[in-house]
């Protein structure tokens, strides 16, 4: 059966973001080589904008819907609390720092397109964009790998069924309100 939980959605978002970024990097490399088959700068900008929006929502769900609640529940005495609670706190704090770095790299990449609006996307600008995306790629891979293999399994281990359901509900609500804000149709069912 397909896992439609919010944790599963966060995992899927990692995979989608990595694939989107890889595609964007390929296009920016073509842009830097200025071959006749180069994609347009506007297409690349639109892809970056899509990636950035997806990542900002992803971070928000984790920052407002996942980590604070798991930390609070663990501090109040989750059924499976043990030494892993302190470990979870350290790892989630570390992940929040990675979010800050990723936001900065994505903002930097968007800034290159802003500069290109004045004089076009020169090879130098395209090369700078490529370097920024390379750093983004490394950060994103580390983020996804750490959460998928370490942090999310810790969440699943720390929380009891009722607490897990409450955290899932919080993340679901955040996602629905973000969709409503963006004018998209909220999901009809619960993603738990
Ligand atoms: Fe994260
Ligand atoms: Fe994540």
pLDDT of residue 55: 96
Residue 148 lies in a domain: yes
Residue 116 lies in a domain: yes
CA dihedral over 173, 175, 180, 184, signed as positive or negative:
negative
Residue 190 lies in a domain: no
DSSP state string for 58-95: HHHIIIIIIHHHHHHHHHHH-TT-STHHHHHHHHHHHH
Among 125, 124, 108, CA closest to 116: 125
**From the CA of 175, how far away is ligand 2's center (Å)?**
14
Q: What global pTM score does this model have?
A: 0.87
Mean pLDDT per 10-residue segment, the chain (192 residues): 88 97 93 71 92 96 93 71 74 93 97 86 89 97 94 88 93 91 62 40
d(CA 37, CA 83): 56
Q: Can you give the CATH number for the domain in which 76 is found?
A: 1.20.120.520
Query: Which residues form the domain of 14?
Result: 6-181
Q: What is the pLDDT of residues 10-33, one digit of tens each?
A: 999 999 999 999 999 999 988 888
Q: Which ligand is nearest to the CA of 102?
A: 1
Residue 165 lies in a domain: yes
pLDDT of residue 112: 93
Residue 79 lies in a domain: yes
User: Total structural domains in the chain?
Assistant: 1
Q: Which ligand is nearest to the CA of 63?
A: 1
Residue 145 lies in a domain: yes
**From the CA of 7, how far away is ligand 1's center (Å)?**
11
Residue 186 lies in a domain: no
**From the CA of 59, how far away is ligand 2's center (Å)?**
6
**From the CA of 43, how far away is ligand 2's center (Å)?**
26
């Amino acid at each position: 059966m397909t896992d439609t939980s919010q944790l599963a959605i966060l995992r899927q978002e990692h995979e989608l973001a990595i694939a989107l970024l890889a595609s964007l990097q390929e296009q920016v490399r073509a842009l830097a080589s200025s071959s006749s088959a180069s994609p347009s700068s506007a297409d690349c900008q639109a892809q970056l904008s899509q990636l950035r929006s997806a990542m900002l929502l992803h971070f928000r769900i984790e920052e407002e819907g996942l980590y604070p609640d798991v930390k609070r529940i663990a501090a109040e005495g989750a059924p499976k609390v043990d030494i892993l609670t302190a470990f979870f706190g350290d790892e989630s704090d570390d992940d929040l720092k990675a979010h800050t770095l990723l936001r900065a790299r994505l903002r930097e990449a968007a800034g290159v397109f802003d500069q290109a609006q004045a004089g076009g996307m020169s090879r130098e600008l395209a090369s700078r964009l490529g370097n920024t995306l390379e750093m983004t790629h490394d950060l994103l891979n580390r983020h996804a790998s750490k959460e998928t293999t370490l942090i999310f399994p810790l969440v699943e281990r720390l929380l009891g069924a009722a607490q897990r359901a409450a955290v899932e509900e919080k993340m679901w609500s955040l996602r629905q309100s973000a969709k409503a804000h963006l004018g998209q149709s909220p999901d009809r069912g619960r993603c738990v």
